[in-house]
């Protein structure tokens, strides 16, 4: 019987009269195919996980730099002769000095610092000041206007270094890469090295990135995501205030009251289709209806919130219906049995029991809305610099603003690579929000999940 299993494969129709203990060559081939097939599966999983790892390491690797910023600590003499020629500390006069008028003071402060530290350099004062951000003059002016009594004193300031200097300290800018760069010279980098060695120039945690506003093209070092974060916050408030009640009401109707008729079918078909409509189409709707037709202000978080509400509603309705469905009919029967109306049964008993599920779905819907970008482009939430944080609720809803993902897109479009670091950093913040929201949703589900 062993002869049979040893006969060459395919020569004769196989019979399995042979010993089980020996694999026939045909079985061996089949097992090899099995192993290969399984390997494809493992390879696919590995490929997916590898992509995740690459994505996460790229984001973390490129984005963490945004949370650090190079600062220069300088003693600045606020010369009365330059800032308040009349000497009477009249705020109107002080305000007449433009940021341009502060340039000599900054140059002077740099010169003094270099001289104090005994650094040898061939740079002119203007080039010395060139390692500082263009934002410095405005910072100085704001300080002087806020504290006119300090004019004539020497005050210690912590100034932003320019984007190139920051990039040099982070390794993004090298001596090779600046060969054709008009913004910085090798001599300036020597100065930076010397200042860094003296401890005057150092890289520290950058809170301004998290709380600050966007900055213009020439000042990547001053750009922050804080104001855009507020824009996102106001949009989320709108989404929460509209999508949650409307979504829950629609779900209650469809799950508890809707008769089987064409209208109900129509609504259900519409909801499932809206869930799959490309988000950009919602942007077109927002532009055509809210801005062009209803004349709501462009770039306003209110409009963004309305558009995202329409986009999020299907998600919330679908998850709310699922959690209403999971409340067993016996609960409704019990309520109806003691003489409650259908409406009372639903609002007093079913809805509270379904609440954790509804909340979970809402958070997931909000997280989805928070990361959405495409519709925001169409309603004008990119392309300008949202420089001031809104002060009132109405301002927050109606004043032009950006949103986190739109701000990231805005940075990604700019020419200076220093903004790319900002974009990756913004993504880290965005992802922290999303992970927090999703974790919260998962915990909520685990905690309150009820098995009937």
Partner 1 sequence: MNDMTLMDNTVDTQNIKIAAKDVNVHYGDSHAIKDVNVEIEDKTVTAFIGPSGCGKSTFLRCLNRMNDTIDICRVKGDILLDGEDIYDRRVDPVQLRAKVGMVFQKPNPFPKSIYDNVAYGPRIHGLARNKAELDEIVEKSLRRGAIWDEVKDRLDAPGTGLSGGQQQRLCIARAVATEPEVLLMDEPCSALDPIATAQVEELIDELRSRYSVVIVTHSMQQAARVSQKTAFFHLGNLVEFGPTGQIFTNPEDARTESYITGRIG
Partner 2 sequence: MPTFWLVALLIALSAVGFYGGRRRAIATAGGDVKELHSLPSYYGYHVALAAFVPAIAALAIWLLAQPMFVETRVSGMIPSEAVPESSTLGLVMSDVRRVAEGLDLAVEQGLLTAREARNAVGGEQDLRALMGDVGVALGNEVRPEVLAAAQTYRNLSHTGRTAMTVVVALLALGGFAWAYSRSHKDFRARNVVERAVLALLILAASLAILTTIGIVLSMLFETKNFFGLHSWTDFFFGTTWAPNFRGDSDLSILPLLWGTLYISFIALLVAVPVGLFAAIYLSEYASGAVRAFAKPLLEILAGIPTIVYGLFALLTVGPALANLFSKGGLLGVEWMAGATSVLTAGLVMGIMLIPFVSSLSDDIINAVPQAMRDGSLGLGATKSETVRQVVMPAALPGIVGAVLLAASRAIGETMIVVMGAGAIAKFSANPLESMTTITTRIVSQLTGDTDFASPETLVAFALGLTLFVLTLGLNVLALYIVRKYREQYD
Rounded CA-CA distance 287/283 in Å is 6
Write the DSSP assignment of 118-143 as a string of letters.
T------HHHHHTTB-TTHHHHHHHH
By CB under 8 A, the residues from 13 to 72 that bind partner 2 are 30-31, 33-34, 36-38, 40-45, 47-49, 51-52, 55, 58-59, 62
Among 2, 6, 26, 424, interactor with partner 1 by CB under 8 A: 26
Site for partner 1 in 203-262 (CB under 8 A): none
Least distance between partner 1 and beta carbon 35 (Å) = 13
Q: Which stretch binds partner 1 (CB under 8 A): 10-18, 217-225, 226-234, 412-420?
A: 10-18
Distance of CA 174 to the CA centre of its chain: 29
Q: Does 27 bind partner 1 (CB under 8 A)?
A: yes
Q: What is the DSSP letter of 161?
A: B
Q: Which partner in partner 2, partner 1, none is near 338 (CB below 5 to 8 A by kind)?
A: none
Residue closer to partner 2 (CB basis): 112 or 340: 340
Q: How far is CA 122 from CA 119, 134, 186, 191, in A?
A: 10, 22, 11, 10
- Report the residue from 9, 266, 334, 443 that binds partner 2 according to the rule CB under 8 A: 266
Cα atoms in the Cβ-side hemisphere of radius 13 Å centred on 107: 11
Which residues face 157 on adjacent strands? 74
Are 161 and 131 in contact by the 8 Å Cβ rule? The answer is: yes
Pattern of binders to partner 2 over 224-263, x per CB under 8 A? Answer: ---------------------xxx-xx-xxx--xx-----
**Binding of partner 1 by 153 (CB under 8 A):** no
* Closest approach of partner 2 to the CB of residue 273, in Å: 6
Q: Does position 15 bind partner 1 by CB under 8 A?
A: yes
Query: Is residue 354 close enough to count as binding partner 2 by CB under 8 A?
Result: no
β-strand partners of 203: 70
209/67 Cα distance (integer angstroms): 7
Residues 398-427 that bind partner 2 (CB under 8 A): 398, 405, 408-409, 412, 420, 423-424, 427
Distance, CA of 396 to CA of 384 (rounded, Å): 16
Q: Are 368 and 383 in contact (CB under 8 A)?
A: no
DSSP string, 436-452: HHHHHHHHHHHHH----
* Binder among 7, 23, 121, 183 for partner 1 (CB under 8 A): 23
174 binds, among partner 1, partner 2, none (CB under 5 to 8 A by kind): none
Site for partner 2 in 316-345 (CB under 8 A): 317, 341, 343
**Please, what is the minimum distance in Å from the beta carbon of residue 38 to partner 2?**
6
- Binding residue (CB under 8 A) for partner 2 from 373, 386, 425, 429: 373
Binding residue for partner 2 (CB under 8 A) from 200, 318, 355, 374? 374
Beta bridge partners of 73: 158
By CB under 8 A, tell whether 278 contacts partner 2: yes
Task: Let me know if 41 is exposed, middle or buried by CB neighbors in 10 A (0-12, 13-18, 19+).
Answer: exposed
Measuring CA to CA, which residue among 380, 326, 374, 381 is closest to residue 350? 326
170 binds partner 2 (CB under 8 A): no
Q: How far is the CB of 434 from partner 1 (least distance, A)?
A: 35
> For partner 1, how many residues bind (rule: CB under 8 A)?
20
Q: Choose which of 2, 6, 8, 20 interacts with partner 1 (CB under 8 A).
A: 20
Q: What is the DSSP string of 79-95?
A: -HHHH-TT-S--HHHHH
What region does 383 belong to: left with phi over 0, alpha with psi -120 to 50, or beta?
A: left
Per CB under 8 A, the list member of 8, 17, 41, 339 interacting with partner 1 is: 17
Question: Which residues contact partner 1 by CB under 8 A?
Answer: 1, 4, 9-10, 12-17, 19-24, 26-27, 30-31
């Amino acid at each position: 019987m062993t002869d049979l299993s040893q006969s060459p494969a395919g020569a004769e129709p196989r019979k399995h009269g042979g010993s089980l203990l020996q694999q026939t060559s045909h079985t061996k081939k089949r097992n090899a195919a099995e192993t290969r097939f399984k390997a494809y599966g493992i390879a696919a999983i590995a490929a997916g996980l590898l992509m995740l790892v690459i994505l996460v390491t790229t984001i973390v690797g490129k984005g963490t730099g945004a949370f650090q910023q190079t600062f220069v600590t300088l003693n600045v003499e606020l010369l009365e002769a330059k800032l308040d020629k009349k000497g009477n500390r009249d705020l109107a006069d002080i305000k007449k000095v433009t940021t341009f008028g502060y340039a000599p003071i900054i140059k002077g402060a740099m010169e003094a610092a270099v001289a104090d530290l005994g650094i040898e350099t061939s740079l002119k004062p203007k080039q010395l000041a060139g390692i500082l951000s263009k934002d410095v003059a405005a910072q100085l002016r704001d300080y002087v206007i806020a504290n006119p009594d300090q004019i004539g004193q020497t005050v210690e300031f912590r100034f932003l270094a320019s984007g190139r200097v920051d990039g040099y300290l982070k390794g993004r800018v090298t001596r090779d890469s600046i060969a054709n760069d008009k913004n910085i010279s090798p001599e300036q980098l020597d100065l930076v090295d010397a200042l860094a060695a003296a401890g005057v120039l150092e890289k520290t945690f950058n809170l301004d990135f998290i709380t600050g506003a966007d900055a213009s093209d020439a000042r990547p070092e001053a750009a922050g995501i804080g104001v855009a974060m507020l824009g996102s916050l106001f949009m989320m408030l709108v989404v929460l205030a509209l999508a949650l009640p409307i979504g829950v009401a629609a779900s209650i109707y469809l799950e508890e009251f809707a008769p089987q008729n064409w209208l109900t079918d129509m609504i259900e078909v519409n909801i499932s289709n809206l869930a799959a409509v490309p988000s950009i189409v919602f942007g077109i709707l927002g532009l055509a209806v809210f801005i062009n037709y209803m004349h709501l202000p462009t770039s306003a978080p209110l409009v963004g919130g309305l558009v995202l509400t329409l986009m999020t509603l299907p998600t919330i309705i679908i998850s709310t219906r699922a959690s209403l469905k999971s409340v067993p009919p016996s609960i409704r029967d019990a309520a109806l049995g003691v003489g409650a109306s259908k409406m009372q049964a639903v609002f007093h008993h079913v809805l509270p029991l379904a609440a954790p599920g509804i909340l979970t779905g809402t958070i997931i819907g909000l997280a989805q809305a928070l990361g959405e970008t495409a519709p925001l482009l169409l309603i004008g939430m990119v392309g300008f610099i949202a420089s001031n944080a809104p002060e009132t609720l109405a301002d927050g809803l109606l004043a032009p603003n950006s949103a986190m993902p739109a701000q990231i897109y805005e940075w990604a479009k700019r020419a200076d690579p220093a903004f790319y670091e900002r974009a990756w950093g913004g993504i880290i913040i965005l992802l922290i929000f999303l992970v927090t929201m999703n974790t919260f949703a998962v915990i909520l589900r685990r905690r309150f999940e009820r098995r009937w």
